Amino acid sequence: MINPAVTTGPSIGSMGRPNDDVAALFQEFADLLSITGEAAYKVRAYEKAARAIGGHPDDVTALDLKGLRTIPNVGEAIAEKILDYQQTGTIRQLEALRERIPTGVRALTAIPTLGPKKAMVLYEELGISSVEELAEAIPAGRLTGLKGFGAKTEENILHGIELLRSQGERALIDVATELAAEIVAELSPLAGRCAVAGSLRRCRETIGDIDILATADDSGPLMAAFTALPLVTEVIGSGETKTSVRTVKGIQVDLRVVPPESWGAALQYFTGSKAHNVRTREIAVRAGLKLSEYGLFSVETGELIVSATEEDVYARLGLPWIPPPLREDEGEIEAALRGELPRLVELTDLRGDLHTHTDLTDGVASLEDMVAAAAARGNEYYAITDHAPNLFMQRMTDEKMLAQREAVHALQERYPKMALLHGTELNIDPDGEVDWPAEFLAGFDVCVASVHSHFTQDRAAMTRRLVRAVENPHVHIIGHPTARSIGRRAPVDADWEAVFAACARSRTILEIDAFPDRLDLPADLIRHARRHGVKFAIDSDAHAPGHFDNLRYAVGTAQRGWLTPDDVVNTWPLDRLRAYLRGD
């Protein structure tokens, strides 16, 4: 069983956050180099450095040149750029690149389906320098005849603009979680109780604003401390019961303070979705009660009935306590009334991880380091699944993979309490074929198969492609099934009911990928697939030891999908898992 004491990750405000900022700069460096037509190998070098920096366990802004050189994929030139950032807060070469590339082109590259080279063409040929201009230019026919911009490309760009606009100012769950945890840690010493509420507590994949709830007899000191936090850039509004601020991350945070005796009612009130809360208030009204953030009251007498705990509030409404991720009015009220709420899967239920990478392909840590980190987490089993050869940039060969298998077998002797599984992440080609012939695939303990290219196939073609992979007897798991990247790439278009039916027939597992910009399969599709009887794997897809901490976000997504431990194969004992993978 995974040890919960070692799964919380670095503390907020310490190691991880500066690394994320530096990693973002090097990813921007790679993007801008791509725009200028720099050699692909150089672009990839910066992309690899960005991943390595983001996944490094130590604060890179506190390392000297020697320490920086120990980071995989960080050579002397990149290390010196990090030192430049340490001293000046920026990277001079990056500033120079920014000056070379028009701001309008950089704005266009925010569109998920528009690459940097096409953005440059639009700017140079048509003078288009904003998302709004491009959105108007396509239906006006201004792109007609422009080389490389056919009807399908225009359709994809418009879809990307729609995706960008729908994302708006929403933050990914990991960014919001870290920010909220920092605020709660700062305010807790001044509050009776302090916790996250709202959509973040419900584990939504993106967050519009963060709700923090606290109790105090006098709200004044709490509100003053809140507005004085260094991360606050603007006070939007301030009062005795609610204060709203804008933070350095651009995220709005609302702090609500209630009397200590109202804690349970307020937490219930400010956690549920609007639709869930409408349902609970309707139940209260039918019982002659009034539900608010201050408690559950008798309409007739005005007497406070209950307010201290969420359990008390739900019990008085005739309901069991409903887990926050279910509070979306997606059937949880009816299930609660029937006594049929599921026992949701939790992080501590996970026994192992079935999708991870090393520096043999695009990971940033060695096999030895990844295995050691997995063992430190208390895994009972752990799969190494580096990329297969059809993802050409990873330069995998049969010989490299077989050598890794021998290394895995040798490492097993050092970790007798954790079973090491040797696997691979295959590529689902446009026709549904995967890397390697059947006899080679038969040598792996577990095969994950994923879509890594040709994301814009039409629904019929994509469905055939996925179903064919699902029905391949050597494919055990479909990795990040929709191939989405939240805010950057839309999900592939497929007949998911047909895909789920094929998974159920072939007993193929669907993955819930833990990367915060994936969380794929999404919760709504998880619920559909579960109705078909499909099984799932909650995987980190880790490319560095620090990525194991993302599992908590995938667990939240699984909970939103109503999954129980029995639905998730990597909560099972190893013998049961192996039997399922064999098809027994």
For the residues of 113-142, what is the DSSP string, one character each? T--HHHHHHHHHHH---SHHHHHHHTTTTT
Residue 238 has pLDDT above 80, yes or no: yes
- What is the arithmetic mean of pLDDT over 305-314? 96
Classify domain 347-582 by CATH number. Answer: 3.20.20.140
Q: Using alpha carbons, select from 396, 503, 395, 372 the residue that is nearest to residue 444.
A: 396
Burial 547-564 (b: 16+ CB within 10 A, else e): bbbbbbbbbbbbbbbbbe
Tokens of 234: 């603007």
Q: Using alpha carbons, select from 327, 430, 333, 434 the residue that is nearest to residue 390.
A: 434
User: pLDDT, tens digit, for every residue of 103-131?
Assistant: 777 778 778 778 777 888 888 888 888 88
pLDDT of the residue at 148: 85
- What is the arithmetic mean of pLDDT over 39-45? 83
User: pLDDT, tens digit, for every residue of 254-282?
Assistant: 999 999 999 999 999 999 999 999 999 99
CATH superfamily of 169-258: Beta Polymerase, domain 2 (3.30.460.10)
506: pLDDT confidence band, cut at 50, 70 and 90?
very high
Domain with CATH 1.10.150.110 in the chain: 16-167
- What is the arithmetic mean of pLDDT over 468-481? 98
Residue 165 contacts by C-beta under 8 Å, 6 or more apart in sequence?
none
The secondary element (H helix, E strand) that includes residue 77 is helix 76-88
Euclidean distance between CA atoms 13 and 181, whole angstroms: 9
DSSP 365-381: S-HHHHHHHHHHTT-SE
Contact 77, 387 (CB under 8 A): no
Residue 12 has pLDDT above 60, yes or no: no
How many CA atoms does the CB half-sphere of 199 hold within 13 Å? 17
pLDDT of the residue at 73: 84
Domain with CATH 3.20.20.140 in the chain: 347-582
Q: Which CATH architecture has domain 16-167?
A: Orthogonal Bundle (1.10)
Domain with CATH 3.30.210.10 in the chain: 268-341
pLDDT of the residue at 277: 96
- What is the arithmetic mean of pLDDT over 529-537? 97
pLDDT of the residue at 89: 82
User: pLDDT, tens digit, for every residue of 207-229?
Assistant: 999 999 999 999 999 999 999 99
- What is the arithmetic mean of pLDDT over 27-51? 83
pLDDT of the residue at 119: 85
User: pLDDT, tens digit, for every residue of 288-297?
Assistant: 999 999 999 9
Euclidean distance between CA atoms 216 and 222, whole angstroms: 8
Euclidean distance between CA atoms 237 and 254, whole angstroms: 9
Q: Computed over its alpha carbons, how large is the radius of gyration of the chain?
A: 25
Bridge partners, 541 (sequence order): none
Residue 166 has pLDDT above 70, yes or no: no
Phi, psi of 219 (to 5 degrees): -80, -15
Q: Using alpha carbons, select from 39, 37, 53 the residue that is nearest to residue 91.
A: 53
Contact 314, 268 (CB under 8 A): yes
pLDDT of the residue at 436: 95
Between 249 and 506, name the one with better pLDDT: 506
243: pLDDT confidence band, cut at 50, 70 and 90?
very high
Q: Using alpha carbons, select from 515, 455, 512, 518 the residue that is nearest to residue 159.
A: 455
User: pLDDT, tens digit, for every residue of 175-185?
Assistant: 999 999 999 99
- What is the arithmetic mean of pLDDT over 299-315? 95
Residue 309 has pLDDT above 70, yes or no: yes
Tokens of 102: 């028009």
Between 142 and 170, name the one with better pLDDT: 142
- What is the arithmetic mean of pLDDT over 29-36? 82
Residue 2 has pLDDT above 70, yes or no: no
Burial 470-484 (b: 16+ CB within 10 A, else e): bebebbbbbbbbbbb
- What is the arithmetic mean of pLDDT over 366-381? 97
What's the mean per-residue pLDDT of the chain?
91
pLDDT of the residue at 167: 62
> Which residue type is seen at 309?
T
581: pLDDT confidence band, cut at 50, 70 and 90?
very high
pLDDT of the residue at 560: 98
pLDDT of the residue at 303: 95
Residue 5 has pLDDT above 50, yes or no: no
Q: Using alpha carbons, select from 413, 458, 422, 418 the residue that is nearest to residue 440.
A: 422
Bridge partners, 243 (sequence order): 238, 255
Between 322 and 10, name the one with better pLDDT: 322
pLDDT of the residue at 350: 98
In CATH, 268-341 is 3.30.830.10: no
168: pLDDT confidence band, cut at 50, 70 and 90?
low
Bridge partners, 212 (sequence order): 196, 255
Question: How big is the CA angle at 13 (ends 8 and 17), to the nearest 5 degrees?
Answer: 85
Percent of the chain with pLDDT over 70: 96
- What is the arithmetic mean of pLDDT over 438-465? 96
Biggest CA–CA distance in the chain, Å, is: 79
